[in-house]
Amino acid sequence: MNTPAETPQIEKLKAPKSGVEVRMYRQGHGDCFLLSFKRRGRSRTPFHMLIDCGMKKRSNAVDKQGIPEILDVIHAQTDGKLDVVVITHEHEDHVSGFPKPDEDDHPFSKFQIEELWLAWTEDGSDEFANELREIYGDKLLALALTHHQLKTLNAATETDNALRETLEEFLELETGENDGLKVLKEVCEDEEVTPEKVAGPGFDEFRSAFAARRSRRVRGKRYKQRLQGLRRMAKTIRFLSPGDGPIEVEGVPVKFFPFGPPRDRKLLTSLDPRKKEEFHFGPFAMGDTGAGLFAAFEARSEGGTGSAPFAARHLLTTPGDESAEALTEKNYVQRVYHDGPEKRRIDSDWLSDAEGMALRLNTEVNNTSLVLGIELEKSKQVLLFTGDAQAGNWRSWQDVTWEDGDQTVTAKDLLGRCTFYKVGHHGSHNATLNGDIDSPHANLHWMAQGDYAEHFVAMIPTNRVWAYGKSRPWKHPMKAIEDALFQKAQSRVMMIRYMPDTGRGRRKKKVIVEEPDLRPETGVTAESDLWQDFIARTEYDQAFVKYWVEDRL
């Protein structure tokens, strides 16, 4: 695909007449949203809020248009000034567009940031947040070692290779590196520890890295560094918890309501014990996915062989151990590593254990997403930005309340007035819950009730072609969720559905931008006032999709 022959002049954004203009940028598979509000009084300078900026590698929605190009657009539109930057969570597709502390030449480094808003899970003075980071670091390093062990297999099976790919995707998402050994060595370097030799390939890096696991830098690794870069740029930092506020910013006619992440361990993670009586090993409840993997690597890091996920014959012996069993093992190692064609592999039970833990850890980080409800002053409409909040985060909202003057506001009150929904986790299966108005948990049908129902719209930040075209496809968005959103929004769903085909060759062609998708099954026609009003508020551009939420019903 070719880029356009001419790049249009980018104009500085003007304040909307009322309400907010929302831009969803086309950098690739990931979140990058710019919200522009009109200030009170005669000021013509909008209040600009950026929510996340990231993308998965090689997921560009438009050829040769990625993070640098989009940041140039945003800088021109905002004159390089952002009143608030919100980070929902530290995954690659949400924060890879921000600089690390020493990246002065990064395109985002030229911005001015007034405030940075983060979830309470990023607060270094929060004891519970620190505990979660330590637990996460333990698990991340165990999976890094698993990946390294898989790469050392002489004759890997299809199952081995499938798990290796899964772990590479996981490690890249969490750390920016897709190689377990690199992750382990970087942790050792960060903590200024020297890898110590222990029996078996790979255990030297694991032992030293594991000894340094208490570091708060382990979790998120590279993306945590990007948060550090933002912290240095911002004049003020706020850590938000559910029920805080409502937060008001001087001169801006909106209120901000933090919904999540919850401060409930059971809702944040499914790997922790349900009862105090359960036995624990490290960060795991006994019997939980990952407990055996953790126990095995911990034992090996101490030089033992018990509980290892490798049969004894797969392990190198320590010097001086000349027992009959050791000699048998040595002979086997000689055959496998040097002489014969025998296959060396990890037992399948441990493979499934590692895969399950990787999938769960990914969900847990998503569940730490900062979720914001944004209420407009006059109409009381609410915009909901969920990051990648998963089921546990959603379930927690039913108990969240705010004291707004002399009124107690519930999450269900706010969701009933929600007319704009940033769809969670690119439309994945467990980031938009189903249910009805009487369900005890928050769900899609709690949104936009009564007079607000006719105004409901949704945005889905995704590149479907890339997501569905992966060797292990991601169903982003999931068809059932997509269909439900189109029904509820009466076709008013904005998404990046495909990379348009503009032909090949040297000839430059303007990139074709898709139009809003009017689906007949929703009962809306192109001539209806509802659809015409939506079209008037919407703009599809090569760099972004824009929608205006006017502060009136």
200: which 2 tokens? 């078996």
User: What does the angle CA 150 – CA 156 – CA 159 come to, to the nearest 5 degrees?
Assistant: 85
Look at residue 128 in the predicted model and tell me its pLDDT: 86
Mark out the alpha helices in 152-274 (DSSP H runs). 158-175, 180-190, 203-211, 222-233, 265-268
Tell me which residue of 356, 361, 374, 476 sits closest to 421, measured CA to CA.
Answer: 374
Look at residue 143 in the predicted model and tell me its pLDDT: 78
Q: Report how far residue 56's alpha carbon sits from residue 72's, in angstroms, rounded to the nearest whole number.
A: 19
| CA 362 to chain CA mean position, Å | 8
The type of residue at 81 is K
User: Omega into 477 within 30° of 0, i.e. cis?
Assistant: yes
Contact 32, 54 (CB under 8 A): yes
Tell me which residue of 350, 329, 91, 330 sits closest to 226, measured CA to CA.
Answer: 91
Mention every residue, 6+ apart, whose C-beta is less than 8 A from residue 98: 53, 54, 106, 108, 226, 227, 229, 230
Contact 108, 116 (CB under 8 A): no
What confidence tens digit (pLDDT) does each residue in 305-353 have?
433 333 333 333 444 444 444 444 444 434 433 344 443 344 445 555 6
Look at residue 41 in the predicted model and tell me its pLDDT: 86
Q: Report how far residue 92's alpha carbon sits from residue 31's, in angstroms, rounded to the nearest whole number.
A: 10
Look at residue 155 in the predicted model and tell me its pLDDT: 61
Contact 301, 202 (CB under 8 A): no
SS3 356: helix
Strand partners, 458: 421, 493
525: which 2 tokens? 């026609």
How would you classify the pairing of strands 457-460 and 418-422? Answer: parallel
24: which 2 tokens? 């969803």
Strand partners, 538: 547
Q: Report how far residue 133's alpha carbon sits from residue 214's, in angstroms, rounded to the nearest whole number.
A: 8
Which helix (H) or strand (E) is 547 found in, with range? strand 544-549
Q: How far are the Cα atoms of 8, 151, 475 from residue 178, in angstroms, in the given order?
A: 38, 12, 22
Contact 35, 546 (CB under 8 A): no
Q: Which residue has the tokens 């008037």?
A: 536
User: What does the angle CA 517 – CA 391 – CA 457 come to, to the nearest 5 degrees?
Assistant: 25
What confidence tens digit (pLDDT) does each residue in 227-277 have?
888 999 999 999 999 999 999 999 999 999 999 899 988 887 633 323 322
| Per-position pLDDT tens, the chain of length 553 | 333 334 457 888 998 999 999 999 999 999 999 999 999 988 889 999 999 999 988 888 888 899 999 999 999 999 999 999 999 998 889 999 999 888 889 999 999 999 999 999 889 898 888 877 777 776 777 778 778 777 776 666 777 777 788 888 778 777 777 888 777 777 766 666 655 543 344 444 455 555 554 444 444 444 567 788 899 999 999 999 999 999 999 999 999 999 989 998 888 763 332 332 222 334 444 445 555 555 555 444 444 443 333 333 333 344 444 444 444 444 443 443 334 444 334 444 555 567 776 766 666 778 889 999 999 999 999 999 999 998 888 989 999 999 999 999 999 999 999 999 999 999 887 788 888 899 888 999 999 999 999 999 999 998 887 888 777 777 788 888 888 999 999 999 998 765 444 444 444 444 556 778 899 999 999 999 999 999 999 999 889 999 999 999 9
Mention every residue, 6+ apart, whose C-beta is less than 8 A from residue 31: 51, 52, 53, 54, 88, 93, 94, 387, 422, 461
Q: How far are the Cα atoms of 51, 195, 211, 247, 302 from residue 192, in angstroms, in the given order?
A: 35, 10, 11, 41, 20
- The pTM of the full predicted model, rounded to 2 decimals, is 0.78
Mention every residue, 6+ apart, whose C-beta is less than 8 A from residue 126: 120, 239
Contact 221, 176 (CB under 8 A): yes
Contact 448, 418 (CB under 8 A): yes
Q: At what angle do helices 291-301 and 203-211 cross, to 10 degrees?
A: 100
Q: Which residue has the tokens 């340094």?
A: 212
Q: Report how far residue 338's alpha carbon sits from residue 332's, in angstroms, rounded to the nearest whole number.
A: 10
Q: Report how far residue 262's alpha carbon sits from residue 9's, in angstroms, rounded to the nearest whole number.
A: 44
